[in-house]
Amino acid sequence: MPTTRTETRDRNKRALLASARDLVASDGTQVSLGSIAEAAGLTTGAVYSIFGSKQKLLVELLAEDFHRYQGALAAVADPTLSLRAVLRGIADAWLAAYAGESAARWSFELNIALAAVHDPKLKARLGELKRDELDGLSALLTGRLVHQAAPGPLTSEVEARAVADALRALLSGIAFQYAMTDQRPERTFLRRACEALATMAEQDAR
């Protein structure tokens, strides 16, 4: 069964994205195209054939990375869960999404995002993705029971957005922290920190 050219190309593209992901995570976005290509068993020219430039590869990598963590949140879609339960669920999903990854892997988003600070195109793309992420999180946190037991007040959109904002910062910061120490955050700590943010809604309700 002969492999078609399209198949070969797709395989190469995936190989390039995979090695780029690993190397960006471990060495930052300043990794050379040469090492990315070599790790994929190709040459730098192939990167240009497939992506057009290093920057475009980075943009694709970023997009792919975001899509990757969308499915993990399905577990907390259940509308009867309380705010705290949803936050705990997100903590678990986030941890699960990183399961099996090397410590260096934690720094991937930070590295690529930092590169975006000085790269208009990357920044624009990242802006879109971040907005989508925030919208998604906000939706997930809206209309939730503020206190554990029903009946009781539900989170408003405004409250949900504030919690989502803090949650995103917290998770980024934890990833950052642990990228530094090569040590994975403990589930218990992560859950408690996330759940604590539920108080931001309670304060409003007070």
- Chain positions contacting its own copies, by CB under 8 A: 26-28, 30, 104, 107, 110-111, 113-118, 123, 126-127, 130, 162, 165-166, 168-174, 176-177, 179-181, 189, 192-193, 195-200, 203
Q: Is 183 left (phi over 0), alpha (psi -120 to 50) or beta?
A: beta
* Least distance from DNA to the Cβ atom of residue 17, Å: 12
* Least distance from DNA to the Cβ atom of residue 62, Å: 16
Residue 18 interacts with which of DNA, its own copies, none, CB < 5 to 8 Å by class: none
Q: How many CB atoms lie within 10 A of CB 150?
A: 9
* Least distance from its own copies to the Cβ atom of residue 51, Å: 17
Q: Which of 18, 26, 54, 110 binds DNA (CB under 7 A)?
A: 54
d(CA 146, CA 142): 10
Could you tell me which stretch among 53-61, 73-81, 142-150, 193-201 binds DNA (CB under 7 A)? 53-61
Specify the residue, 77 or 181, whose C-beta has the smaller distance to its own copies: 181
> Three-state SS for 63?
helix
Q: Which residue carries 């879109």 as its tokens?
A: 128
Q: Which residue carries 């988003």 as its tokens?
A: 109
Q: Where are the alpha helices (DSSP H) in the chain?
A: 5-27, 33-39, 44-50, 54-68, 83-98, 108-117, 120-141, 157-181, 187-196, 199-205
* Least distance from its own copies to the Cβ atom of residue 2, Å: 20
* Least distance from its own copies to the Cβ atom of residue 41, Å: 20
DSSP structural state of residue 119: -
Q: How many CB atoms lie within 10 A of CB 98?
A: 18
- Residue ranges binding DNA (CB under 7 A): 2-5, 8-9, 12, 30-35, 37, 42-50, 53-55
